[in-house]
Amino acid sequence: MSLSSSTIATLRRRLAAREISPRDIITDLAGTIETRNGTLGAYLTWDVDKALAEAEKADLSLPLGGIPIGIKDNINVTGQPCTCGSRMLSENYTAPYDAGAITRLRNAGAIPFGRLNMDEFAMGSSTENSALGVTRNPHDLDRIPGGSSGGSAAAVAGNLAVATLGSDTGGSIRQPAALCGCVGIKPTYGRISRFGLVAFASSLDQIGPITRTVEDAALLLNHLCGKDPRDSTSLDVPAPDFTSALGRDIKGLRIGLPKEYFISGIHAGVSASVQAAIKKLEGLGAIPVEISLPHTDVGVSTYYIIAPAEASANLARFDGVRYGHRSAGAGDLMEHYMMSREEGFGPEVKRRILLGTYVLSSGYYDAYYLKAQRARTLIRQDFEKAFEQVDVIVSPTSPTPAHRLGELKDNPLAAYLEDIFTIPVNLAGLPGISIPCGTAEEGGRQLPVGLQIIGKPLDEANILRVADAFEKA
């Protein structure tokens, strides 16, 4: 097995035994990226010399000492670009500081390596909305890797990264992990600092890892979680050792099956793989329980009011005055604002800014935004009632396998519905993980299918326990 296709756990054992060095890992990764990234388009930039310099100083006594981690290009790393996949930031912005999650990774000995492609400002589910190029699915180069963390998932699946960080606002870690055959976890809202994550929708965004195994996800979570005084939404709750949840059986665990998530319209291959996974969990001693999440049908519409509303406020700061794209042809200040934003933002970002501004405007706030917040409360209450009956909830991560590049380009509503099973988890602030559970045939190819496991607030340990048991089985 090449170093670039190894797990964190394997690399740590080999580093401890002095069989390899951090420099060896960086060199192997760099070679793979040089060979394959031109085809996959997972990375936007990478600095081998800087990573090698950090590798030479790596402290192998630290828990992640010498391990390179790829970073989604909306998470700030000192001295590196942070484009958010947008022309708005691609011309002249260099991050002046480390995000909270990056500080924690560095404190554990990890090396941030490379900037990974994404849908512009994390708005999309295919990574086709990036202004800086398309990312392709390693399992079929004619298909999307999912999004918005498509570069992060494609890099892991294509052996261009050992592990990566992504961000998840409505499924943007779990959905690409599912479509690329990786493990992706969105922790409870507030578990990981959002300081230094370029904001899309502040009440929904969460950073999380994409990895090859559940063990690697647990290892990274151990060093990402914790209170950050620079983020008022980060929780002052001690994080357990998530790896202690691994290797335990799941006998007697109640697995919730929401009837609203097992409906007609799901791809037949996805349905078959997920049903087989449920049977496997049942065979391991879990007890399936049918539950209801009755407000699932309003999840997507609720999200597409709240998220654009928050985006319209968050993206107002990109005006070309202090940083970001600045139009050369403006005659006065108003024209400067209008032309800079017109030229700097892509179509999907403009669509969501317009939608968000509309639902917050006078005369429409109560009809849309306030009503969406009430619906969000009902969605959260659905989960609270369900968790009175069960320990975790399982579902498909995505209703379909990866679609072809350009297939939904002119149909944004169909693209939005791709996140129907992941969006409610963000609205309720819950932890969720996607793990590979089989394949579905589409166009003569076998494509990955993801199983989503949803937990109670701050119960990442239990979903990792279930995911690990399934993975090992």
Which regions of 95-189 does DSSP assign to beta strands (E)?
111-116, 164-168, 183-186
180, 146 contact by CB (below 8 A): yes
- Specify whether the CB–CB gap between 208 and 185 falls below 8 A: yes
The Cα 30–Cα 162 span in angstroms is 12
Provide the CB-side half-sphere exposure for 25 (13 A, CA).
33
Dihedral angle sign, alpha carbons of residues 71, 37, 185, 212:
negative
Residue 463, helix vs strand vs coil: helix
Contact 145, 179 (CB under 8 A): yes
The one catalytic residue in 172, 193, 271, 395 is 172
For residues 160 and 204, the answer to whether their CB atoms sit within 8 Å is no
Which of 4, 130, 148, 312 is the catalytic position? 148
β-partners of residue 115 are 45, 71
DSSP codes, 326-394: --SS--SHHHHHHHHHHHHS-HHHHHHHHHHHHHTSTTTIIIIIIHHHHHHHHHHHHHHHHTTT-SEEE
Which member of 72, 312, 340, 456 is catalytic? Answer: 72
Order of strands across the sheet that contains 287-291: 43-45, 111-116, 68-72, 164-168, 206-211, 183-186, 432-442, 445-454, 392-396, 254-258, 287-291
Is 72 among the catalytic positions? yes
Catalytic-residue membership of 148: yes
Going by C-alpha positions, the residue among 298, 309, 267, 218 that lies closest to residue 399 is 267
| Helix, strand, coil abundance in the chain, percent, nearest 5 | 40, 15, 40
The question of whether 350 is a catalytic residue gets the answer no
Catalytic center residues: 72, 148, 172
